[in-house]
Structure 1
């Protein structure tokens, strides 16, 4: 049976107990190894039922991180690719694609690259061809009169076929998400086969009814997998959108989606439709359209019972239930629990996508306002100031990283639209500030997002506080005017272990932005001194890439651009910053920037040259100022 695609491995795992933190003891490790080796051997059994049972058990065990790693070390992927994708038993083939899909989602880059280099596309392409031909045969068979037994058999066969298509589409998306190189390779020519299969599936599966209602002859999960593919790839590639719009059938399909009423749609269907609609509109979306999309997305998930969803996704109660079940009822209970968890996963994924779409919509609104400077409509302003803060508060505990990203965008949008968050009814900023996690030093994807989100939100709130009439009072309320707070931000800046280069740059740029705003507050000379000396240290460090140095330069110049600032004399002048700039900073910047290759990155090269010239002008200006 096809499983619901799990978009975020880190966030969904927080709701489960499988794969708890901490390693396995040697006894349990060896015990698990003895458990998995017979299963792997059974995959090579001549008896189809034994292969199917082993595959099903492995699929369940791979939900546990430690068990999954053990299976991967025992060459599970090689066995699946070489034996099971071409198995004579259709159910095994379908389940095998589902297992590969789940492994690609859970393990990300490493597994995706391994699959791609093992030529998984050849199997995927053959699978798409087989799916399309089987769909054509299914349609032909449905037009013929058959007895009840044949109809039942055909229904079961159709269900398996739809699961097959779902797994093929979602594996394609998982591979594209796993690596930019894979996504680029797919977009060259291979995606045409995928889109052909999408067209064939939709042509067969959609049944127009009265008015704008549409029924489905395929499973809702397969239809959602198609929507997911279109939304996911269009959010990452403008070329993909152009490819869709260049196809007469698919272009008409996505343009008509928002007005169609699908008779058995669920939360995920409705959310994905709005996401595709937003991708189609892009920067051409009006604020009324953006407000409608945000409102519909919120309406699609507002009925979800969060405690119930968390309980359904947790394995604790389900494991206890299985432990107390008799042998004759275990299989039935496992099947029932699988269905419950799959339904909960759909609700979970719907909320994740909703937060992503809302965040993207806010970015579009901000860009449009900056381009036109026209006020947004009242309905959108109400949505931004009332609906979204309530939604973020409700979802914060279970979706912390995504909600922080949403809050970050909303706070910066408020600044753009000249909306004072400190003046909003019910003071939602207080609940946000109180809920911000104080520490999260793990390099795990989800916790890293929380780190970046926390710093971004703090930066935006400090930026808002600095614009208040009594900025010092706001700073005092936030409690950021302490050397300990600054030291904490500097610690975050330096805590880059296990992060890749792009993550390091992203984290450090956020920290520099936060410290840059904090350094501007008047009446905080010692705080400014602490930040100023940190900026100086980083400007002569060889540990920062060009993008971080550019932000450091901007923040430093903004901080010390005016001799009238109360910290200029005691810090910039008395601590001899000008001498330090001329003797150490400028030579280091010149040396670092010469390594930026204008052929590989001409835009960055132009930026560093301009920034260096600006810094030279700043040094001359401060020399004149001090004379």
Structure 2
């Protein structure tokens, strides 16, 4: 059962804001699905105009056209709008540059990885990094003599800084190559200067700087080292994160952008911990003293159904509002021009994204892993693998995925785990807007994207909580069967509401199930023997296991079924599950079509289920001739284990575990034979 960890290959903290997976691929399909096809060519032509006013207008028009419109975004991308906008970053007119950066920023946020990767490949960093010292110098002058600077001039620079920083943040999540290039710019002093002057600056660029810092310090040693090396940076972060604690009521009423800043600084501190001595910060328990007191009220204060209903009302109101001609050269709109309704929608989206961020940080805290040694040598790694293997052997019902680390909860963290469960349960239930309807986009894609991300993040956090509880057995928790049934039923209620629809645009539904099955496995392990198998639940888990292409998802399904099979008095449920597990085993020396990892888990599950011959359901083992079926699988299991390539990532651990399970299988067969039952 693997803990949810942030992986470098899946780094994006702000997932695609306006998803487009429901759209067919290709430029032609984008042309057919976009309602603004005719507006594209004039924009691209004016982007190259000799008139600076027309170039500025074209840059603004891109932002207006792509708003909540993935078809038009794809169409513009296919017409090389990214390259055209990057060219405008070296324009002779500053106003054109400002609007070009704004449009590129919006493309990054709305479009996600693909557009960011295209920007990086088209060398956007070369002009962007020239802006950093210019912004820094200008801000220094403003802060030194703000009264002498016109408000409008300051506003433009602040917005420009926000857009540049946000673009750098998105690019840093694109790939290791982009991250390494951004590391070379050495952004930490620049970004920290915004946080240090937060009381004198607008909130937007300060929050953007904190978001960029949060991403850059995520498992990225150069940025971590830069922050650790400056005690002033650490004190600044602590002062923001340790501002007056929020009650649930205060969290509801506070400006979501202010809350987001506090959450981000808590995340940054967690990323760079342990904090180095001799500073006072080194004595702070980041999780106990900062993360939990700050984040628990935030995730407890939000009602997703209320926000969803409010968004529905706002979108309905927006549809009835008169629309200004946004593409008129005469009116020359600004890219930040928003109606009251749009501003209200953005505030709600910020609140949702802050909850999502809080859940992401809590997921790390609930993993209760030791702080990584960023300069670990090979010997240490080998010792860690051996330790993990020992934990696996001792607790086969709490296996980790091969790329995760095993550890027990720290004393300071184990006590809070159960108290987080109720607010997390409230966040896993989908609303009207949580997932797009079949074959059509959401009526407000940013809200749908944020809501589905919250549901999944809440489940990831629960996954780590129940793994932590399962790996450090707590008799009082296991004895509270009523709580076990409640959590189990709530997860299933949520999954039933999500549904099993598939197809383009429904990928988040599938992801919800993939995370949830790990939660079910964790719950099953904590309350093993207390959860009676429901025929429908068992059938769905078997179907989901068979349809999964990822072997780790199959392992989780098998692990969950294993816990259900151990309900003492469910003879029929045990038989259905056992026969399914036996179907995964090879009947000769051929490999199991289910895959090696699911096969190993199925063998382990059968041994666990029937290790106590006094259980009422053991009648199935005897009457079903399960012993003969296990004997027939021995050579096939051995061949599968021997086929594991230990040179591949995770191969050494998997091979070790496979060898252990095969030896256990042989010993178990002998044990059952000796019983003579």
TM-score, normalised relative to structure 2: 0.71
- Separation in 2, partners of 1:295, 1:435: 27
Mark the CA change 1:357 to 1:187 in structure 2 (over 3 Å): closer, same or farther: same
Supply the distance in 2 between the matched residues of 1:529 and 1:592 (Cα, whole angstroms): 27
CA change 1:461–1:369 in 2 (3 A) is same
Is 1:163 the counterpart of 2:159? The answer is yes
Segments of structure 1 that go 5 or more residues without pairing to the other structure are 1-5, 208-214
More moved, 286-295 vs 515-524:
286-295
Equivalent pair of 2:370/2:407 in contact (CA under 8 Å): yes
Is the contact made by 2:300 and 2:423 (CA closer than 8 Å) also made in structure 1? Answer: no
Shift of 1:487: 1.8
Name the SS of the counterpart of 2:645 in structure 1. coil
Deviation, 1:515, is 0.7
More helix by share: 1
Q: Could you say if the C-alpha distance between residues 268 and 423 of structure 1 is closer, same or farther in structure 2, counting changes exceeding 3 Å?
A: same
Q: CA deviation at 1:447?
A: 1.9
CA offset digits 1:112-167 (Å, max 9, x no partner)? 4333333333x3xx4233221342145346656986xxx32xx4333333333333
For residues 305-324 of structure 1, what are the alpha-carbon distances to aligned partners after superposition, in whole Å with 9 as ceiling and x for unaligned? 75357645964432321349
Write the mapping of 1:446-461 to structure 2, written as runs, cut at 5 A: 446-461=508-523
Shift of 1:580: 3.4
* Alpha carbons 2:368, 2:407 under 8 Å: kept: no
Q: CA deviation at 1:190?
A: 3.8
Show CA shifts across 1:554-603 (max 9, x none): 222212323333333433x4434344334345325524642414365433
Give a deviation string over 1:22-69, Cα, whole Å, max 9, x none: 999999637532232322222222222223223223223323122222
Provide the rounded CA distance (Å) in 1 between the counterparts of 2:668 and 2:514.
31
Gap change, CA 1:396 and 1:241, over 3 Å in 2: farther
Please name the residue that 2:288 is paired with. Answer: 290
Cα 1:288/1:200, change in 2 over 3 Å: closer
1:400 lines up with 2:461 in the alignment: no
Work out the CA distance in 2 between the residues paired with 1:73 and 1:246.
Answer: 44
Alpha-carbon distance in structure 2 between the residues aligned to 1:375 and 1:31: 56
What is the alpha-carbon distance in structure 1 between the residues aligned to residue 242 and residue 165 of structure 2?
25
Q: Which of 643, 660, 665 is equivalent to 1:594?
A: 643
Give runs of aligned pairs for residues 38-49 of structure 1, distance below 5 A: 38-49=42-53
**Matched position secondary structure for 1:193:** coil
| 1:309–1:347 contact (8 Å) kept in structure 2 | no
Unaligned runs of 5+ in 2: 1-11, 246-253, 276-281, 372-404, 431-450
The answer for the alignment partner of 1:75 in structure 2 is 80
1:517 is displaced (CA, Å) by: 0.6
Deviation at 1:352, TM superposition (A): 0.9
Q: Distance in 2 between matches of 1:13 and 1:409?
A: 29
Structure 1 counterpart SS, 2:611 = coil
Distance 2:369 2:31 in 1: 57
The residue that corresponds to 1:526 in the other structure is 572
| Alignment-derived partner of residue 393 in structure 2 | none
Q: Which residue of 2 aligns with 1:210?
A: none
Partner of 1:90: 94
Cα displacement (A) at 1:451: 0.7
How many residues get paired?
575
Work out the CA distance in 1 between the residues paired with 2:283 and 2:656: 32
1:440 matched to 2:500? The reply is yes
Deviations 1:70-103 (A, max 9, x none): 222223223233x223223334434434444443
Q: What is aligned with 2:390? A: none
Correspondence list, 1:543-622, <5 A: 543-571=593-621, 573-584=622-633, 586-591=635-640, 593-598=642-647, 601-622=651-672
**Does the alignment pair 1:538 with 2:542?**
no
Distance of aligned partners of 1:191 and 1:427 in 2 relative to their CA distance in 1, 3 Å threshold: same
Partner of 1:130: 131
Question: Cα–Cα, structure 1 residues 203 and 374, in superposed 2: closer, same or farther, change >3 Å?
Answer: closer
Q: 1:445 to 1:481 in 2, by over 3 A?
A: closer
Which of 208, 212, 227 pairs up with 1:244?
227
Q: Does the CA contact (< 8 Å) of 1:132 and 1:201 recur in 2? A: no
- Do the aligned partners of 2:538 and 2:577 also contact (CA within 8 Å) in 1? yes
Alignment partners' CA distance in 2, 1:203 and 1:288: 23
Which deviations, in whole Å up to 9, do the C-alpha atoms of 1:156-186 show, x marking residues without a partner?
33333333333333223323333xxx23x35
DSSP 3-state at the match of 1:596: coil
Distance 1:228 1:118 in 2: 24
TM-score normalized with structure 1 length: 0.76
Q: Any conservation in 2 of the 1:287–1:377 contact (CA below 8 Å)?
A: no
Distance 1:140 1:224, change over 3 A: closer
- Cα-to-partner distance string for 1:256-281 (whole Å, 9 max, x where unaligned): 54346899971211221222333344
What SS does the aligned partner of 1:566 have? Answer: coil
| TM-superposition CA deviations, 1:357-388 (whole Å, max 9, x none) | 2333222299999747859797x47xx43x65
- Distance of aligned partners of 1:304 and 1:618 in 2 relative to their CA distance in 1, 3 Å threshold: closer
- 1:489 and 1:511 in contact (8 A); partners too: yes
Q: Secondary structure at the match of 1:321?
A: coil
Is the 2:311–2:345 Cα contact (8 Å) retained in structure 1? yes
Tell me which residue corresponds to 1:203: 193
Equivalences for 1:32-43 in 2 at 5 Å?
32-43=36-47
Higher relative contact order (CA 8 A, sep 6+): 2
SS in structure 1 at match of 2:500: coil
Counterpart for residue 230 of structure 1: 213
Instruction: Give the structure 2 partner of residue 212 of structure 1.
Output: none
User: What's the counterpart of residue 389 of structure 1?
Assistant: 422
